Amino acid sequence: MRAAAIADAVIAWFGEYARELPWREQGFPAWGILVSEVMLQQTQVARVVPRLAEWLDRWPTPAALAAEPPGEAVRMWHRLGYPRRALNLHAAAVVITERHGGEVPSDVEQLLALPGVGDYTARAVASFAFGERHPVVDTNVRRVIARAVAGLAEAGPPRIRADLEAMERLLPTDRRQAQLTNAGVMELGAIVCTARAPRCDGCPINALCAWRAAGYPAYDGPRARGQARFEGSDRQVRGLVMAELRASDIPVTRTELERAWPDAEQLTRAIDTLVRDGLAVSEGDAYRLP
């Protein structure tokens, strides 16, 4: 069967060429897996590795993190981006401590209920930390399936149900083999079947690839939405404000923030949304981490 051939080839390749990453070490805790998966949401592996080590060194358990103010999580986040993830991780640590006896749950439904844990992260933790048999679908997996199975150059817009079903069809029955298939297909998409310049010569499934067999046709389907320009955006201003708050032990005044971004109207909008998101707290005419 074609799906079995793909899984077998990917598993064999993964065993030989997988990168040595902290969260793949024997005995790496479920808490560490959860933290790594949240850090990896839209953030490259190379930037995550050092921050993950610092984080787990300071907070080796969910209870340790839950005992501190959420602002400390935001500060430890440094410049990983999307700092609401740090807030989510802190809130998740509180839930895990109060409702799950301090242990990261292995059940997908319970994982999905944690703040900042969505369809990808819940199944990644269930599969990688606990060996549960669930399809894990991220941007890499979607691209590999689009090419190898559907014969398309790109995956197009995400469709959760269909994407999960497509990966499910590739998963072997055995739990361990399913886990290795999840990790292997992701890894293949990350370092071989890349978005820009795929390294098809080194691909373990190039002989099975529908896109290759079709002669690498160009993509003509619907495009995933592109990102808005960053320079001059509210996101940039929010980032600058957060950098100021992280760097200070005392509240930062509005006047000091205006030095970082002179446009008063845009600065106000950034501050207001940060306060609404719980990433900043107002204290008189100044602001600090929560």
51, 56, 73, 121: which one contacts DNA (CB under 7 A)?
Answer: 121
- Choose which of 35, 37, 211, 244 interacts with DNA (CB under 7 A): 37
Show the site string, 196-215: x = touches DNA by CB under 7 A, - = not: xx------------------
Which position among 8, 17, 84, 103 is part of the footprint of DNA (CB under 7 A)? Answer: 84
Task: Find the shortest distance in angstroms from Cβ 45 to DNA.
Answer: 5
From 108, 190, 205, 209, residue interacting with DNA (rule: CB under 7 A) = 190
What is the SS3 string spanning the chain? Answer: CHHHHHHHHHHHHHHHHCCCCHHHCCCCCHHHHHHHHHHCCCCCHHHHHHHHHHHHHHCCCHHHHHCCCHHHHHHHCCCCCCCHHHHHHHHHHHHHHHHCCCCCCCCHHHHHCCCCCCHHHHHHHHHHHHCCCCCCCCHHHHHHHHHHHCCCCCCCCCCHHHHHHHHHHHCCCCHHHHHHHHHHHHHHHHHCCCCCCCCHHHCCCHHHCHHHHCCCCCCCCCCCCCCCCCCCCHHHHHHHHHHHHHHCCCCEEHHHHHHHCCCHHHHHHHHHHHHHCCCCEEECCEEECC
The verdict on 276 binding DNA (CB under 7 A) reads no
Residue 83 interacts with DNA (CB under 7 A): yes or no: yes
Site for DNA in 168-187 (CB under 7 A): 186-187
- Note whether 124 binds DNA by CB under 7 A: yes
**Residue 1 has which token pair?**
């069967």
With binding defined as CB under 7 A, does residue 262 bind DNA?
Answer: no
Task: Give 149 or 193: the residue with its C-beta nearer to DNA.
Answer: 193
Residue 268 sits in the site that holds DNA (CB under 7 A): no
Stretch that binds DNA, among 94-102, 207-215, 236-244, 282-290 (CB under 7 A): 236-244
Task: Tell me, yes or no, if 37 is annotated catalytic.
Answer: yes
Q: Kindly state whether residue 95 participates in binding DNA, applying the rule CB under 7 A.
A: no
Chain positions contacting DNA, by CB under 7 A = 21, 23, 36-37, 40-47, 79-84, 88, 115-122, 124, 138-140, 143, 157, 159, 186-187, 189-190, 194-197, 225-228, 230, 233-236, 238-240, 242-243, 273
